[in-house]
Structure 1
């Protein structure tokens, strides 16, 4: 009996407090035994005892889900085969939900996680090198912002910032300071914000921006950043702050919050050059700078060697510069064009003459010495993007410009100091980038890389040509350059295409080349790059005064659109971008560049401005902010060329002043094949350029199958009744060149 006592109760019939009369059990306890074995699985929760650190006598008791009970439930509910699968999916969903809630409410970013794994890292620089890039750019005055530095950099001390005004702040005891610096110490001149308005009697036109004035882009971001702000409201702040609302200031009251244009006044803080420049860059991260989850290295790539940077250029406010133009920050507008000159670069150049402070209303002997005149450099690639220029390319380029009625007016001596045409040579340009010149040829077969997709060019069609004359230097080769063919279709047609003649015949190789060309030009020469489908809408003086690099936002996405790109010559940021691109397939697509800067925490050094400043219609075309659109309301980019009938009264009634007033420029996104003014598709610049006009009129008539009209037959009845916005802009700029009206600032062109 002793051996069976484990299985039978000795003191009761299921009731321990009641003795048995005969000492024997009345039934088997198999049910109770089974219950004892499985009673834990019947509960949904199980107690878990955990030790408490530092307290030996107590333990922490928490309740956890019971896996056995969950498994039993799913098997009973869904069967033996599907039950475990349902349980596994449930666990995954639960874990992801907890992770999502933590990321949304318990992290500084407060963003919901995405289901996509994300793009792989593009980073090839260690954190110590990224610290040096930030410090170099700040010391050079290329960060005139009070925005916080990324804490991931791990800087132990705030850098001196000569582009921010010096101000006294309370000294915080070291024990209360954060171990990571996220601010800069301003050592520059004080800022005087301007109230710009037209003054009597010159009130018909807005005043020119003050020479040396600067746009505070921190203020602009506050009033313009999507999705918090509307484009319509942003444009109002931009035009009122710049005094563009001449005779139409309807706002009353104090408007200091809308002032964003300032002058630097007075000396900066008394900081020695050695302290301000700090050539040894002593700031280091507190932890190991080479190993950090914030800086994952690009898979399969080696870390770049420690970055070598020269001494940053000394920052000088405009009033302290020895000349009005600073050689370290030249005012160059760059534009890239492929193929024959058309009305698209023609209108870009006309808008440049109409808006920028070029002194065309003065004689050359009486130019204002305080004004730094910008120069527009149009880079022309005469043939297919993959074909290097021949030995006579430069002469052929100028011969073509002289014979082209759209281009020849800009060769007039009056424009010789403000407009320049240059021949683009890919080999020469890439060899001019120190960060690329020794390595780019190894990647010539994949040079046309856009967003990770490589446009293959046949290797057997490569032509080896020199940067000067063909066949003189075998090493100076352009990437995978095929010999031009006389015909063909498919891949050959794509390779030999020059210019985009329609939506179906798009010159993709030239577009990819231009993605790289803009960074090359800004890094080599400095200045601002603009896509050829850009129209200037106001003077850019205040943007030149802001020394930092910038592009603008890709509509609703937190990505760059580099249709406008400002970079400083030979900057640390440029070195980073070229070396990073070299390790990532020489990909300069704006989406990829966005990854470069994000992975390295350098987005603050390439500011992403709101697209309201340069692309005011973009959000509307993607169905955003249509409840309060700006003026004009273009729901599609094609409406610039074909304004809807119910809105077609606005262009003729409002004119140039009614077209996104306050924005710096307008980007109409391609449409190379659509004429600006179909009923007058020729340069209408008056008697001074009549020969080119006659050639263009004859060409337009021949293409339309019409008889060439005489000047006497050019009557208004033949014109389109409702003019589109594109035609109104073109005719406004042409009237200025003809001498029939002043420019937007009331200045008359003097020949």
Structure 2
């Protein structure tokens, strides 16, 4: 039995008092209540409206009591409560989603659904379309991957870096108005995929890549992308497709599907048949004024949209065989590296690996015409003092004097390397003033330049007040360290895991984007070792970085960008409005929020960081060779695997990858037994200085020639780091050829 003032649905009848007599505030109230639609699943509630006598607000709510009773009849009391709670949460989420979908630009929520990751977008849809169009027309998108639909292009962009292909197209009259287009229309030269192999009798070493060849990174992504593919299998594809399995090809089947290197054959087709459209001459969507042109885009809170982006005319894509010379002036082959503090064995080995692998024509005599062919250059940017130190006007002169007296650096000042290795001094003010997009505004953020993932490191001013000021960025010249009590401020490189030079790392996060946008080329972290020729990566004219292990984020330890590109303009303007934060995780957010991830391709880390997944407990069921469970294994190879380095040598070290990233360990020597540059008589002065400065060397009164060289004094099991260092040094000494069988000619 229900009480007299209750309905059959269990809800108290508000029209009756506890004694059962009718109770109404007015006749209007009684009429509304009696004529309200009776529903067992809803409840009507009336609220008086202040200032309006005899008027009420009618609110219809779900009948939670009935829902609770129904669930009690099917579930236990505990489960019934959970079902009721789930229904309430679902209702609130649906209301919130509807509000988000139909909100106007002026009524954006002050905070996003996930407060930890607010939107970073400052460009509207029309500018994002301009960026895609500019990069595609400039030949920087040689990919068949679709453009994201939120970009909203309605006409397929012409793509000079793709060959044409016949595909079934839906006539425009059958397409819904304003339908987004995802693909581009290729009108470039056709592609001839190469079977790269060592040919008899020259099978001892792999052949150099064909000049002008291009890596089809679409194929690489399909065959290597995590999590569906293993790093081990990817490296085999890279080896076979690149001809690195010289004379030892064990696969007997057809491997045409693994050919990822091609040459462009023919010209860019100037006359292209495309579907007629009134927007054929202007593929940018401009919706009518009644529609929000930026609907669906999440703008950075409390920030206005950027002014219309001003871009130069798109570049003209020239296939390699049509260039008037062997070098493409719009696609310079520059490797950049950033270094702070005294030169050590870490940049030393990076430079040695560069000489050992890249096509620098050092096997040809200087007077040979082939020796002046287009060669990559390595620009090593040095910040001579601490990242937050005060500049001095003599820094450039002092830098070269220090390089000359440094045994690890002085060999690379030899005239034989003058055209392929260049030392340059980093100056923050000069570099930031060289970026047109931010040169007139970046000083507003000079007190927050050390920004890493939104965390700003405070640096004291000259007057002792604490702020995030960077004193190295307010005058020209080099840097001079000043002593104070803050050890981190004065660090010159990372000497141990406990004294990590955090400021220099943050500065390098920004430096890599500055250098690539100003000069073009590829930036690499100083803890990188080259493992093969990068010819076909230069051929791919798009921008790229690589994946942060298992995460769908960027690691910019390798970063390729084009000089003065639309993508670069976007990144710098976006970073300026987000505190000049260039941490790779933040950059990942910039491109994701703007649907530009396709323009900065996120390559599998198998190409540049083959051990990373294993060190994070992934793919250990089928690891690559060598098998590292932590990055320290490179320097201290575990005993059970310590036969591999000497038995397999350089050829057994992640064969197929383009480079290896050993992730810091700046304080660990590559070769503890011979911790000095071992480059032979030509560089004996530097070796002598390093050996006598090395605390581990005994008999300091002896000359280098008199020092004992007994094999029994060497480490019995050589580590991978030692084997690679000694392999590269043997090439410079003239005792062995490089990885392509070429001997260094002095």
TM tier, smaller? 0.7 to 0.9
Alignment partner, residue 298 of structure 1: 300
Residue 614 of structure 1 and its aligned partner are, at CA, apart by 0.1
**C-alpha distance in 1, partners of 2:360/2:463?**
46
1:438 and 2:440 are equivalent in the alignment: yes
Q: Please, what is the CA RMSD of the aligned residues?
A: 3.4
Note if contact 2:428-2:472 (Cα within 8 Å) is conserved in structure 1: no
Is the counterpart of residue 477 in structure 1 residue 478 in structure 2? no
Aligned equivalent of 1:284? 285
- Look up the match of 1:555: 549
Task: Note the 1:620-631 alignment, pairs <5 A.
Answer: 620-631=614-625
1:506 aligns with 2:500: yes
- 1:486 maps to which residue? 483
Partner of 2:665: 671
Show the counterpart of 1:201.
Answer: 201
Question: Which structure has the larger Rg over C-alpha atoms?
Answer: 1
Distance in 1 (CA, whole Å) between partners of 2:698 and 2:499 is 23
SS at match of 2:160: strand
Deviations 1:457-479 (A, max 9, x none): 1134599xxxxxxxxxx997159
Q: Please list the CA deviations of residues 62-91 of structure 1 after superposition, one character each: whole Å capped at 9, or x if unmatched.
A: xx985222356899999x9x9999676333
Matched, 1:70 2:67: yes
Q: In 2, Cα distance between the equivalents of 1:210 and 1:335?
A: 26
User: How far 1:707 sits from its partner (Å)?
Assistant: 4.1
Whether 2:131 is the aligned partner of 1:122: answer no
Structure 1 residue 247 displacement after superposition: 1.3
CA distance in 2, matches of 1:76, 1:176: 53
Give the Cα separation in 1 of the matches to 2:576 and 2:621.
44
SS in 2 for 1:122: coil
Query: Does 2:521 match 1:527?
Result: yes
Judge conservation of contact 1:128–1:290 (CA < 8 Å) in 2.
Answer: no
Is the alpha carbon distance of 1:356 and 1:172 closer, same or farther for their aligned partners in structure 2, counting shifts above 3 Å?
Answer: same
The number of residues matched between the two structures is 675
Pick the aligned partner of 1:454 from 439, 453, 456.
456
Q: For residues 32 and 705 of structure 1, do their structure 2 counterparts lie closer, same or farther at Cα, with a shift above 3 Å needed?
A: closer
**What do the CA deviations read for 1:604-659 (whole angstroms, capped 9, x no partner)?**
00000000000000000000000000000011000000000000000000000000
8 A Cα contact 2:389 2:482, kept in partner: no
- Is 1:730 matched with 2:700? no
Structure 1 equivalent of residue 591 of structure 2: 597
**Structure 2 counterpart of 1:168:** 166
Summarize the alignment of residues 316-331 of structure 1 with structure 2, pairs less than 5 Å apart: 316-331=318-333
In structure 1, what is the Cα distance between the partners aligned to 2:566 and 2:597? 14
Higher mean alpha-carbon deviation, 322-331 vs 597-606, is at 322-331
Partner of 1:353: 355
Q: Which runs of 5+ in 2 are unaligned?
A: 13-38, 44-60, 97-111, 466-470
**1:531–1:563 Cα contact (<8 Å) kept:** yes
CA distance in 2: counterparts of 1:237 and 1:86, whole angstroms: 52
CA displacement, residues 313-333 of structure 1 (integer Å, 9 cap, x when unaligned) = 111000111111111110000
Deviations 1:178-229 (A, max 9, x none): 6111110101000000000000111000000000000000000011000000
* Counterparts in 2 of 1:721 and 1:122: CA distance versus 1, 3 Å: same
* Deviating more after overlay: 496-505 vs 545-554: 496-505
Q: Aligned pair 1:156/2:150, yes or no?
A: no
How far apart, CA to CA, are the structure 1 residues paired with 2:273 and 2:343? 49
> What's the TM-score, normalizing by structure 2?
0.85
- State the Cα distance separating 1:39 from its structure 2 match: 4.6
- Is contact 2:189-2:269 (8 Å) kept? yes
Q: What secondary structure is seen at the aligned counterpart in 1 of 2:633?
A: helix
| Contact 1:145–1:164 (8 Å) recurs in 2 | yes
Give the corresponding residue for 1:719: 714
Contact kept, 8 Å, 1:167 with 1:186, in 2: the verdict is yes
Deviations 1:250-299 (A, max 9, x none): 00121111000000001232338999xx9985421557785545311101
1:167: how far off? 2.4
2:385/2:480 contact within 8 Å kept: no
Further displaced range: 69-78 or 193-202: 69-78
Q: Which residue of 2 aligns with 1:56?
A: none
Question: Matches of 1:475 and 1:305 in 2, distance apart?
Answer: 31
Q: Are residues 414 and 462 of structure 1, via their aligned partners in 2, closer, same or farther at CA, if it must alter by over 3 Å? A: farther
Answering whether residue 402 of structure 2 is matched by residue 400 of structure 1, we say yes
Whether the aligned pair in 1 keeps the contact of 2:192 and 2:264 (CA below 8 Å) is yes
The reply on whether 1:242 has 2:242 as its aligned counterpart is yes
1:310 to 1:97, Cα distance in 2 relative to 1, 3 A: closer
Structure-1 residue corresponding to 2:132: 134
Query: CA 1:287/1:156 → structure 2, altered by over 3 Å: closer, same or farther?
Result: farther
**Structure 2 partner of 1:218:** 218
| Contact 1:324–1:369 (Cα < 8 Å) also in 2 | no
- Contact 1:462 1:482 (C-alpha < 8 Å) held by counterparts: no
Structure 1 residues 255 and 580: alpha-carbon distance in aligned structure 2, compared to 1, 3 A threshold: same
- The residue that corresponds to 1:365 in the other structure is 367
- Structure 1 residues 311 and 391: alpha-carbon distance in aligned structure 2, compared to 1, 3 A threshold: same
- Note closer, same or farther for the CA distance 1:330–1:640 as it changes in structure 2 (3 Å cut): same
CA–CA separation in structure 1 for the residues paired with 2:280 and 2:131: 12
**Deviation at 1:714?**
1.4
Change (3 A) 1:634 1:326: same
